[in-house]
Amino acid sequence: MKKVILTFLGLLLSLFMVAQNEFDALRFSQIYYYGTARSMAMGNAFTGLGADPGAIVYNPAALALKRESDFSFTPGFKMGQALSNFNGTSRNGIRYRFTLNNLSLCFVTRPKSGLIKNVNFGIAYNRIKDFNQRLWIEGVNDKGSMLDDFMYNADGTDPDNLNAFDTYLAYWTYLLDVSDSSTMTYTNPLWVSGGPYYGENQRKIVKSSGYGSSLDFAAGMNIGDFLYMGMSVASIGMRYSSLSEYTESGFNQAVDLKDFKFNESLRDNVNGIGIKLGLIFTPLRYLRLGIAAQTPYFLTVKDVYYSSIESNWYTPDADGNTNYLEKSPINTYVYHVTTPWHMSMGIGLIVGKILALGADYEMVDYTSIRMKADDYDFAYENTNIQKNFNRTQNIRFGADLNLRGFHLRAGYSYYGSAFDRIKPVTVISGGFGYRGPGFYVDLGVQQSLSGEKYWLYVPYEDEPMPDVQYKNLMVALTLGTHF
């Protein structure tokens, strides 16, 4: 099993084969605001209601409804579960995390006279993504193997030019070998005489961490207690890291391979900017109508990736070795993502000082996501985005019942699926709060549910695909003061 030495030129060429794909862009384009405990408990249905620090990220006109200067702080606690089922085998991955959901400071100024009742300014930090998760998938696959994925991707390519991050590593750990040098066709250990021999145990564990945040600098204006206008400039920052370990073991006795591991490490540093505009009308004293638009976020992503493959065999080679390990180079790449527009409208009903109701409708066109880089146009990935991603509709509902300063709240949210393999996100929420002289305390709880058909690798023919269900429980506490 002597291998041809990889040339330096081939290694350099393979560095460009590490693809940032459309799902990387989607990861940074889907946004779920956490907000304050009050806004979270009411399903974040504040496009029309306004007047909450957590609403500024949806509709900056919400700031203009504030009557008093305000400071609030919202820490949170998240428990994330990923429940998988793969060919009848179930696994449960759990991660716990303390978070900072919202930190806001709002200033109210009142002109001495005129139609303009107040001009308000605010700075609001909001958590918009939480990447902390532990995914564990395991099961027996009797219809395929990642080795086939390596084999088919390698076919037609000279060993010197194999991908330095997967097929080259597989070749050098003897998981691939050339079966026909005239056509550069490959084989793998499962395709021995009488094969292929499937039925191996497949396991993947992914530990991801990181967060996304929006720092909004907002201004709002109240014109005649009838029209409220707002604008904000948002500075976006995201940090994402993922450590993945994929293992296949328990092969058929006809196969000399004992097991192999494919490890991947990915770190992304994301920065960007966007603008939000909004209006709220009050045609009747108890009725508020809101509209808002969020421009695309223009993001720059710095991607750092490397991988390794290790194989273990029953039969030693001529030197007595049964273990082989190959590591890829570390690849750093910078590219750009333009996220979709968000267009939303909302209605708020205020029933005296007893009840507040909110309902929002939002449209997001994920087919408009675009990727680009200085040395690559991402034409293939952008075409896939247009063909495979969806235009989604999101709805949010919320209610707040005031019982002499004590508030009971409930909410529901639905976020449509951006890709058919990914299920919609549903969120049920609730909470309570107290408004005192110069201060307030709120507690909010939300449970979100979603899921997907997960790809361990690109499957062939009728291979089984794991089902993964995501359950995330968030508890938030807001402490605030008026001044």
pLDDT digits (tens, 9 = 90+) for 77-88: 999 999 999 999
What is the rounded CA–CA span in Å between residue 250 and residue 315?
A: 15
Cross-strand bridge partners of residue 363: 343, 393
For the purposes of burial, counting CB atoms within 10 Å of the CB of 241, is it exposed (0-12), middle (13-18) or buried (19 or more)?
middle
Phi, psi (rounded to 5 degrees) for 30 = -85, 125
Residue 19 banded pLDDT, cuts 50, 70, 90: low
Residues recorded for the chain: 483
pLDDT mean over 437-463: 92
In the predicted structure, residue 17 carries a pLDDT above the cut 60: no
DSSP 8-state code for residue 418: S
Evaluate whether residue 1 is within a structural domain. Answer: no
3-state secondary structure of 368: helix
Task: Note whether 237 and 215 are within 8 A (CB).
Answer: yes
Residue 459 banded pLDDT, cuts 50, 70, 90: confident
pLDDT mean over 322-350: 97
Token digits of residue 102? 């919202």
Evaluate whether residue 2 is within a structural domain. Answer: no
Number of CB atoms found within 10 A of residue 253's CB: 7
User: Measuring CA to CA, which residue among 336, 237, 348 is closest to residue 292?
Assistant: 348
Number of CB atoms found within 10 A of residue 334's CB: 13
Evaluate whether residue 472 is within a structural domain. Answer: yes
Q: What was the pLDDT predicted at 194? A: 87
CATH code at 120? 2.40.160.60
Q: What was the pLDDT predicted at 3? A: 41
User: Measuring CA to CA, which residue among 139, 136, 137 is closest to residue 201?
Assistant: 139
Evaluate whether residue 285 is within a structural domain. Answer: yes
What is the rounded CA–CA span in Å between residue 278 and residue 28?
A: 23
Q: Which residues contact 350 (CB under 8 A, 6 or more apart)?
A: 285, 286, 287, 288, 356
Evaluate whether residue 117 is within a structural domain. Answer: yes
Asked if the bond preceding 283 is cis, omega within 30° of 0, the reply is no
Which helix (H) or strand (E) segment holds residue 23: the answer is helix 22-29
Is the dihedral angle over the CA atoms 158, 163, 167, 169 positive or is it negative? positive
What is the rounded CA–CA span in Å between residue 19 and residue 376?
A: 10
Task: Note whether 116 and 101 are within 8 A (CB).
Answer: no
Residue 126 banded pLDDT, cuts 50, 70, 90: very high
Q: What was the pLDDT predicted at 336? A: 98
When the pLDDT of each residue in the chain is averaged and rounded to a whole number, the result is 94
The domain in which residue 266 lies consists of 8-482
Query: What's the structural domain count of the chain?
Result: 1
What is the rounded CA–CA span in Å between residue 72 and residue 91?
A: 39
Condensed to tens digits (0 to 9), the pLDDT of residues 187-203 reads 999 999 888 999 999 99
Please report the DSSP string for 49-87 in residue order: T--SGGGTTT-GGGGGG--S-EEEEEEEEEEEEEEEEET
